[in-house]
Amino acid sequence: MRSIKSSNIIPYIHAENDRPKENCLHGHPIVSNGHGGITTHAGGGVKGKYKKVEGLVFDTHYPNFNPMSWSYPITEDMSDIDLELCAAGYDGINNVTTYSLHIHRHKNRDISMLLSTCEDIADMYTGIRGNGWGGVGSMFSAGYNVGFKGRISSVAKSLKLKKMPSSTAHSITNRLSISGGIFCDEFSDKNVGFDEMVQLQTEIWPKNRNVLNGPACWIVSKNLGNPKHIDNDVSRSYAGWFTKQTIDNKSAWFLFPDWGVAIELCNDTWISWDGVNCAHCSSVPHLEEGNNIYSLFTATTKKVYANAKKVNKCESLLRENKVQLKSLCVGDHVSLRWVEPLDGSKYMLPKRAKRKYGNKYRRWLHCIVSNIDHMDGTIQLLEKNKNKRKLSKLTISEIHNRVVFGWVK
């Protein structure tokens, strides 16, 4: 296996016509892809979030995509490669910003645990990134995320997983923890910020949330081909790719079109990149029946980071600055530490169990003071969000222990 030990500076391709162009839109070959827009025999493209065009992909099945003709093709026999992708404004003098891209691979190694983890997550978890992407294949969130209830928690179980024995979910969680250790072994000594990402996660993680040993946020992809995009994360990205069989037709690539970098994907390929600043995508893989290509990916998402910072800031304000009833006015913006009331079956839990429940399920709501009863010593809050909960009146003690000034973000 060939290796390139020294770092290579890769210039950003400023001229749009000089960049490699996608050749497929929603499964149709592209007729033209230039300043006049993207058209196929089936119509044009639609722009979406994260600087992507829905359904616009690279596909070796159609003409005009040959990754071997790109400026920097990195084939499966090449490993231990470190590139520096220049920022758009890089001039080598006043702007020397670059983004590290690292690639390494292993041959003939047992990856059965990693592969089985990806297979089980793809089989039992709910898919994500479907609407608005128009890609090929599937993606699945695992580990921790910010749920619809607005708190950091384990990814919600799918209906299929809920019907399985609890040991099934525990097995996947344990294997993700083991995978975190493997990722540490793969990236810690590569100077790509892996240890710093885990340390940041440790520092910002809310004290009332359990966390995996190692990275907390995971995504699995299966046979993915997606549009060029940037990521909504606060850290670099780290991923490994795994297959049961070899891919002989050279259809699976990880691409950085704005730099002309094409990385051929094969079993036990490991890549770290700056997904926030470097637009990237996966080409559409064409695999033989019975073969799939999975990736296991981790990064600290912006949503998790922002939620953790908000919780920590609210908890700090609550300790340092107790809100007094006399300091409140109708119409004031406040943040309320709220826990969904216990239902009848749990209402009689002992005090310790109730405290544990409150620590696990509390969240912070943005509210407005709608009424103040000075005679009774209570206030009434109205939630800001459109799905407003009916909130109970708060006593002076509850104001001290559950309310902070402002809509903390």
The identity of residue 184, as a single letter, is C
Enumerate the CATH 3.60.130 domain ranges in the chain, comma separated. Answer: 2-302
Mean pLDDT of 301-317: 93
Lowest-pLDDT choice from 96-100, 125-129, 161-165, 291-295: 125-129
Q: Could you confirm whether domain 2-302 is CATH 3.60.130? A: yes
State the pLDDT confidence band at 41, using cuts at 50, 70 and 90.
very low
Tell me what pLDDT residue 356 has: 78
Average pLDDT over residues 195-216: 85
| Residue of higher predicted confidence among 339 and 36 | 339
Could you tell me which residue, 225 or 1, shows the higher pLDDT? 225
Q: Mean pLDDT over residues 283-289, rounded?
A: 96
- Note the pTM of the prediction, 2 decimals: 0.89
Dist CA 275 CA 21 (whole Å): 19
Average pLDDT over residues 31-43: 57
Between residues 4 and 108, the one the model is more confident about: 108
User: If we measure between CA atoms, which residue out of 232, 215, 282 comes closest to residue 255?
Assistant: 282
Q: How many Å apart are CA 179 and CA 56, to the nearest integer? A: 32
pLDDT of residue 6: 46
Across 324-333, average pLDDT? 95
34 or 328, higher pLDDT: 328
Residue 99, pLDDT above cutoff 70: yes
Q: What are 361-390's pLDDT values in tens digits?
A: 788 999 999 999 999 999 999 998 766 778
Q: What is the mean pLDDT of residues 315-321?
A: 92
Mean pLDDT of the chain: 90
**Range scoring the smallest mean pLDDT among 43-52, 90-99, 259-268:** 43-52
293-298/98-105 β-pairing: unpaired
Percent share of the chain, pLDDT over 70? 89
Contact between residue 72 and residue 84 where contact means Cβ atoms under 8 Å apart: no
Encode pLDDT of 138-155 as tens digits.
999 999 988 767 788 888
Mean pLDDT, range 175-193, rounded to an integer: 96
Mean pLDDT of 47-55: 73
Judged by average pLDDT, the poorest of 85-99, 294-308, 319-333, 358-372 is 358-372
Q: How far apart are CA 379 and CA 376, in angstroms?
A: 9
Q: Which residues face 261 on adjacent strands?
A: 72, 256
- The model's confidence at residue 47, banded by pLDDT at 50, 70 and 90, is low
Contact 33, 59 (CB under 8 A): no
Categorize the per-residue pLDDT at 124 as very low, low, confident or very high, splitting at 50, 70 and 90: very high
The pLDDT > 90 percentage for the chain reads 73
Nearest CA among 56, 104, 101, 98 for reference residue 83: 101
What CA–CA distance (Å, rounded) separates 14 from 116? 42
Give me the pLDDT at residue 37, please. Answer: 56
Q: Which of 4-8, 95-99, 332-336, 366-370 has the lowest mean pLDDT?
A: 4-8
Question: What is the C-alpha separation between 252 and 194, in angstroms, rounded?
Answer: 25
What lies within 8 Å, CB to CB, of 76 at 6+ separation is 105, 264, 265, 266, 269
